[in-house]
Amino acid sequence: MKLVTPLIRKGGVSTALVMPNLKPTISNTDQALAYKAELQALAPEVQFLMTLYLNPDLTPAEIEKAAKAGVVGVKSYPRGVTTNSEGGIEDYRIYYPVFEAMQKHNMILNLHGEIPSDPDNDICVLNAEERFLSHLKQLHTDFPTLRIVLEHATTKAAVEAVKSLGDTVGCTITVHHLQLIVDDWAGQCHHFCKPVAKYPHDRAALRQVIKDGHPRFFLGTDSAPHPRHLKENASSCAGVFTGSHVLPYLATILESFGALDRLQSFACENGRRFYQLGERSATAGQVTLQRTEFTVPEELEYVDDEGAERAIVPFMAGKKLTWSFA
């Protein structure tokens, strides 16, 4: 937290939706507000939007309290699919009273859209997102005015599903899923994340929906800072860290497939509109990018709470980007 929070603004980002899958999870309003205060102290100029971890102790009364305190969303993690999701959900129906309250109080449901692997039923990381989409459709049917975001979509099927649904369903796409395919993470632990990057035709669909300028698709980085020693030694350590250089990555990658003209709407406008954050003043949070080559650092070093020297390996470490900050 101490290393990466001050880097948010340096990466060109002024608004961050904060994920609740910590140890312990951020499960209620008081925890969210305490966490927000810690983050705000480290990065006073960033707007932190807080989320709660969907969990069985969440009640409609707590949702009302959270909404009144300015917590914007509740994040749902299916059990066991990603970092700190051991307490994740197994059945959406038991949360219907919570979703009802969220709909009433205009909170957002943020979905990690995968179902758990189940070899007996031919479910693995490659089809886990596609098999989740029926849940998304059902939730949207049952709560038509609840704003739902399918987070970090990776498949053509997800893009098509979101496009087919109503205006209350949005979808985020990460920087890294615009770049990676299966070949890039199989055997490369620093590219392993959940959901895993998929086929070339899936990446093409993510790129195309941005090129099309679809207003309900927007940037959500899922930037996940895991230390090098865990990424390299724990096979299930999922996450790609893009937070330190979000906009230079994005400009470089969008330009590579002819979508640089979508940078502003995809990164700065569509999400704000979906989140009802209101217009920014013309210059608030403004950054200037220039077409100057820039080499991503090999690692970002820090000393952990036990005094050990550690490092985080950023996405595309050691690689050249074609854009940097002016």
Q: What are phi and psi of 223, to 5 degrees?
A: -65, 120
Distance CA 250, CA 266 (A): 10
Shorter beta-carbon distance to ligand DOR: residue 82 or 252: 82
Shorter beta-carbon distance to ligand DOR: residue 175 or 193: 193
The widest CA-to-CA distance across the chain, in whole angstroms, is 54
- In the bound complex, what is the minimum distance in angstroms from residue 141's beta carbon to ligand DOR? 25
Shorter beta-carbon distance to ligand DOR: residue 189 or 204: 189
**Residues ≥6 apart with Cβ < 8 Å to 275:** 49, 72, 108
Q: Which stretch of DSSP H or E encloses residue 218?
A: strand 217-219
Instruction: Tokens for 88, please give them.
Output: 């994740």
Binding letters toward ligand DOR, positions 100-119, x by CB under 6 A: ------------x-------
Distance CA 176, CA 324 (A): 17
- Residue 239 contacts ligand DOR per CB under 6 A: yes
- Residue 314 contacts ligand DOR per CB under 6 A: no
- Residue 131 contacts ligand DOR per CB under 6 A: no
For ligand DOR, how many residues bind (rule: CB under 6 A)? 11
- Residue 161 contacts ligand DOR per CB under 6 A: no
Strands (E), 31-180: 47-53, 73-76, 108-112, 147-151, 169-173
Instruction: Tokens for 89, please give them.
Output: 């959900």
Closest CA to 220 of 176, 181, 187, 183: 176
Say whether 98 sits in a helix, a strand or coil: helix
Instruction: Tokens for 36, please give them.
Output: 């927000």
Q: Which stretch of DSSP H or E encloses residue 103?
A: helix 96-104
Among 222, 243, 270, 275, contact with ligand DOR (rule: CB under 6 A): 222
Query: How do 309-312 and 300-303 pair as beta strands?
Result: antiparallel
Instruction: Tokens for 285, please give them.
Output: 């949070």
- Residue 54 contacts ligand DOR per CB under 6 A: no
- In the bound complex, what is the minimum distance in angstroms from residue 183's beta carbon to ligand DOR? 18
- Residue 191 contacts ligand DOR per CB under 6 A: no
Distance CA 280, CA 318 (A): 34
Shorter beta-carbon distance to ligand DOR: residue 67 or 230: 230
- Residue 21 contacts ligand DOR per CB under 6 A: yes
Shorter beta-carbon distance to ligand DOR: residue 129 or 222: 222
Among 193, 197, 250, 312, contact with ligand DOR (rule: CB under 6 A): 193
Shorter beta-carbon distance to ligand DOR: residue 239 or 314: 239
Q: Facing residues of 324 across strands?
A: 290
- In the bound complex, what is the minimum distance in angstroms from residue 184's beta carbon to ligand DOR? 14
Shorter beta-carbon distance to ligand DOR: residue 175 or 263: 175
Which residues are near ligand DOR by CB under 6 A? 19, 21, 82-83, 112, 193-194, 222, 224, 238-239
